Chain A
Amino acid sequence: MASRMNTRVELLQGTLDLIVLRTLATMGPLHAYDIATRLEHVADHPFTLNQGTLYPALVRMEQKGWIKGVWQKTENNRDAKFYAITKAGHRALKNETARWRRLVGLVEKLLLNES
């Protein structure tokens, strides 16, 4: 049971990290809710992902030093933790993007050949 869950998280991991990094790189510092909203915007279906799922990714990337969280006030004067991408994060984004492209290219090629 635990192993099945792991594969799902594993699948999400790569992409989720990339998406979050990409979002932070273009939009500047965001809090988790902002990121989630942004993802929903981009995705075709709203709420495809539980917003809570973001947190493991955020803490992982923060521990890796890719992003950094700071508590700040939102425009509605609520406390929220805003995550900003770091220099290491930019480097990681480049690498991850390249890796993603390669992967997608490979899958595309495979799919083309199959059909």
Chain B
Amino acid sequence: MPTWRQFLLKLNNFLRPGRAELELRREIDSHLALIEDEFQRRGMTPDEARLAARRAFGSIEQTKELHREERSFLWLERAHQDIQFASRALRKNFGFSVLTVMILALGIGGNAAIFSVLHSLSTKSVPSGDTAGIWTPSPFADPKRTVSVAEVKRDDRSKTDLVSPWAFAQWKDRVSAFEQIAGWRFLYLNLSGLDKPEQVQGLTVTAPFLSLLGAEFQSGRNFLPEEEQFGHEKVAILSSSLWNRRFGSDPNLVGQQIFIESQPYTVVGILSPAFRFIRVLDRPLDIYLALPIDRDIRPGLDHSLFVYGRLKAGISLDQAQTELDSFYRNFDRQFPQPNSMWTASVTSQEPNAWPLYKRAAAFPSVLLSFAAAGLVLAIACVNIASLMLARATFRRKEMAVRAALGASRLRLVRQLLTESVLLALIGGVGGILCAIGGIHLLNVYVPDQMLRRIDDFKLDITVLAFSVFISTVSGLICGVLPALRSARVPPNEALNESGRSSTGIHTNRIGNFLVTSQMALATVLLTSALLLLQSSLALQHRPRGLDLKNVLTLKISLPSAKYPEGQHVSRFYDDVVQRIQRLPGIQSASVISFPPMARQSIGYPVRIENRVSSSPDTPLIARYAIIGPEYFQTMRIPLLAGREFRRNDVDERRGVAIISANTARLFWPNSDPIGRQLRPDFPNERLFWIPESRNVPLTVVGIVGDVRENGRVEGTAPPLIYLPYLQNPVPLMHIVVRTASDPLGFAPLVQEQVWSVDKDQPIADIQTIEEIVAYRFVSERLTANLIMIFATAAVLLTAIGICGMLSYAVSQKRHEIAIRVALGARQSDISKSITTAAFRLALAGVGSGLILSVGLRNVLAHFLYGIGPTDPITFIAVSVLLTAVALLAGHFPARRATTVDPMVVLRGE
């Protein structure tokens, strides 16, 4: 019982040392007065009495110290004292402290910023198949019970596809595991009826979709179940931002009609501004329309719906999976083909179901950046350790005095460690400030799609805790070696010598080692950064089978109400393209359904006469591009055989197609494909990305060069089949324009031509093909740039390290230099010896760094395209550069060495 009472009293005394101290002082004073009284009574003079009283009492200071020890927590008091000592020492060496804090702040800040990225990765940001790079994760109302459902091949569950409307309608009726199930699909929509036409992105969704996502409405309501029936009045829900932007936050908008795709829709609800769903291609979704599901549709290949479901309470993922599997088996006899190929697969949408390392592994570029940040911090620590070690030599006397006065070695080590940890914590505070800046920059420069995130990167409590942790660890790392070394000084030796040091050689050896390892780590970083940079450039400028320069693209999506028939669509594009071609400075123009390199098209099955695919379950798949005349000429894709499309290729009954070289190789391996027939197998549904085709046989009339859309993956380009838009009109097209000079400069002129044909037609995505490619490889480029920044920091740090180390060596060898000068050495000899030292350090560091880089080649090879991980030119460049940096860093101490005045130094003893 007395223990906790004692604890509280001690704690109180520790927290408020003043009161107990005052009380003690008063008690001692009174005690002394009482002794004096007594001695005076015995006949001493007051002066004698005072002295005698002191003697009788003993050492007042010692009493106080023992009293403190007894009444409070000694270790805490000592820590407090250490911190006071440390902050005094740091203030005394203000310049050194500021430098150290800045170095640490940058190191810690970089790590914390990258850690926030790592931390923000969520389960749903896992790339999968074709949609990789496009979808960002979803915030569900009840993520624990929410699942996404896909249809998968029974024989290979890794082959996933979207859900067919037939299956979706059946599940709704017959699968009991779901409390709610919602299908959705992506749309581009044109808004008209107001001053300026605009194209927005939106979704068609079934009624439960928004409630699954926990959407809240700032006015109006969600869709009603009857609104997803065919023939119901058309209704729409708007995002808050569209309502603000386009409708001026009109409070009476709900209930009014707006024009979407030139058709009237009644606004039934406006979402709360807080609602966020996926972003598609880095743009928000603005409109939600009710998605009607046709229950009479027969099972087919048209896998076109994304499906989310909420499981009933108490139903596990496995139970739902089992029920879906048996659902499919029940239909096997009823619909033998193609249904029997499929079953469904249920995936939990619970975030963070994956451990961090697994999530991180899905984004190796983040891991790579994190490793680079870690390396910079390691260099920073080693750097500070070497600076501290050098400085510790100047503090030998201070330490010796402390030791002579009775400080134990442990106490000295603790005090020095306190100093470095204090430095690191101040550096940590600076680091957090740097991290805030860094996170801001990352939020600006990292596109949402790169990591498929929904929220900004944040400095939350975890990131903060991480920063504090790494600050402390760095403090210990940079402090421990210097502390151990300086605390080992035997006091008499340090006190006797007058600054000249014979023990310096040993310190120097450690210092050299530290500097060399910094140099080695910097070499590794710089090599990796340069390789990644070259790789990113190679990706950007890789020959891709077409000329990427000076091509402008614009996206146009024609409303079906205004352009109901294919001929209306083709007449519009024909008209626009001809007007553009007449403009000065335009070399040629055409249209294509999806621009090359944008990776937006989807593959569909193809049937070929006389050729049976290896198994009926794995049909031949090709992607389709619908193009206008002169497309190949505009993109400079070579025609290898046959002919291009002609203006008279209009008749759909005599359909034609042009295939890419790889399609020819894969589909007709042993014969000439020209004149052969193929039949596309488009789903029987009207979707904006599918041509309105009757799936009639098409004759191959030409073969063109492959467009290598693949990013890092080598190998053959996937099959691509071109169809003439005159035969297969689609409402959504991209105009491509080859210009003589800067393409973006022609954008206003080109837009004018579109509006001169239809003044209500919105235009979206005005960009160059080069921009599309750049966006495609933004992840690689950003990673390379980020690591380049880290590498630059590492090289700078190393330069500081070399400069500091050699300056220290110079000041340590002042006597030696002075004697040499006195004996007639020339200044150039002196500076040459310092430069030689710098050169040796550089050689050792760069050498071991290159060996390390070779050792890490397998890791780096994963990230490289078009360049080997041990590229000799890069290695040579790095060696030369770093050696130059080392010599430059050695220049300052070398100059200082030549200014040593032998008279001053030698007399100074």
Show the binding face of A for B, using Cβ within 8 Å: 1-2, 9, 31-33, 37, 47, 50-53, 55-57, 59-60, 63-65, 74, 76, 78-81, 88
Contact = CB atoms under 8 A, between A and B. Distances in A.
B406 A1 contact: yes
Contacts of A9: 66
B59 A52 contact: yes
Contacts of B33: 78
Interface stretch (B23-31, B304-312, B825-833): B23-31
Contact of B70 (A59, A78, A88): A59
Interface string B37-70: 1100000000000000000111110110011011
A57 to B, nearest CB: 8
Interface in B311-341: none
Contact of B58 (A33, A51, A64, A74): A51
B34 interface: yes
A53 B58 CA distance: 8
B9 interface: yes
A31 B33 CA distance: 12
A60 B70 contact: yes
Contacts of A88: 2
B10 A63 contact: yes
Contact of B66 (A1, A56, A76): A56
Among A53, A55, A78, the most chain B Cβ lie within 10 Å of the Cβ of A55
- The 9 A-B residue pairs whose C-beta atoms are closest, nearest first, are A50-B58, A52-B63, A56-B70, A33-B34, A52-B58, A56-B66, A64-B2, A63-B9, A59-B71
A81 B20 CA distance: 14
B6 to A, nearest CB: 5
Contacts of A78: 30, 33-34, 37
B352 interface: no
Contact of A32 (B10, B27, B60, B70): B27
A1 B57 CA distance: 23
Nearest to A34: B34
A57 B37 CA distance: 24
Given A33-B34, A64-B5, A76-B37, A47 B66 contact: no
B2 A51 contact: no
Interface in B390-444: 406, 408
A21 to B, nearest CB: 14
B551 to A, nearest CB: 80
B35 interface: yes
30 contacts: A2-B406, A31-B31, A31-B34, A33-B31, A33-B34, A50-B56, A50-B58, A50-B63, A51-B57, A52-B60, A52-B66, A53-B66, A55-B24, A55-B67, A56-B66, A56-B67, A59-B67, A59-B70, A60-B70, A63-B2, A63-B5, A63-B70, A64-B6, A74-B34, A78-B34, A79-B26, A80-B27, A80-B30, A81-B26, A81-B27
B5 A55 contact: no
A33 B35 CA distance: 7
B10 A79 contact: no
Given A63-B10, A74-B34, A2 B66 contact: no
Contacts of B10: 63
B62 A52 contact: yes
A60 B69 CA distance: 10
A51 B5 contact: no
Contacts of B71: 59-60, 63
Contacts of B35: 33, 51
Given A32-B31, A52-B58, 16 more contacts: A2-B408, A31-B30, A37-B38, A50-B57, A50-B59, A52-B59, A52-B62, A52-B66, A55-B63, A56-B63, A56-B69, A57-B70, A60-B71, A80-B31, A81-B26, A88-B2
A37 B35 CA distance: 10
Nearest to B66: A56
B81 to A, nearest CB: 14
A42 to B, nearest CB: 16
Contact of A63 (B6, B31, B38): B6
Contacts of B31: 31-33, 51, 80
Contacts of B34: 31, 33, 74, 78, 80
Contacts of B69: 56
A38 to B, nearest CB: 13
Given A63-B5, A64-B6, A65-B5, A79 B37 contact: no
A49 to B, nearest CB: 8
A105 B561 CA distance: 113
Nearest to B27: A81
Of the listed residues B31, B37, B63, the one surrounded by the most CB atoms of chain A closer than 10 A to its CB is B31
A79 to B, nearest CB: 5
A76 B10 CA distance: 34
A71 B357 CA distance: 65
Given A31-B31, A81-B27, A51 B9 contact: no
Interface string B356-374: 0000000000000000000
Contacts of B67: 55-56, 59
A50 B35 CA distance: 12
Nearest to B24: A55
A9 B57 CA distance: 17
A63 B69 CA distance: 13
A51 B58 CA distance: 6
Contacts of B5: 63-65
Contacts of A2: 406, 408
Contacts of A74: 34
B49 to A, nearest CB: 14
B37 to A, nearest CB: 6
Interface string B615-651: 0000000000000000000000000000000000000
A33 B70 CA distance: 20
Contacts of A32: 27, 31
A74 B35 CA distance: 13
A63 B28 CA distance: 18
A81 B30 contact: yes
A43 B343 CA distance: 99
Nearest to B55: A47
Contacts of A56: 63, 66-67, 69-70
A59 B62 CA distance: 15
Nearest to A33: B34
* Residue of A31, A51, A60, A88 with highest tally of chain B CB at under 10 A: A51
A55 B70 CA distance: 9
B42 to A, nearest CB: 13
Nearest to A66: B2
Contacts of A65: 2, 5
B753 to A, nearest CB: 91
B54 to A, nearest CB: 10
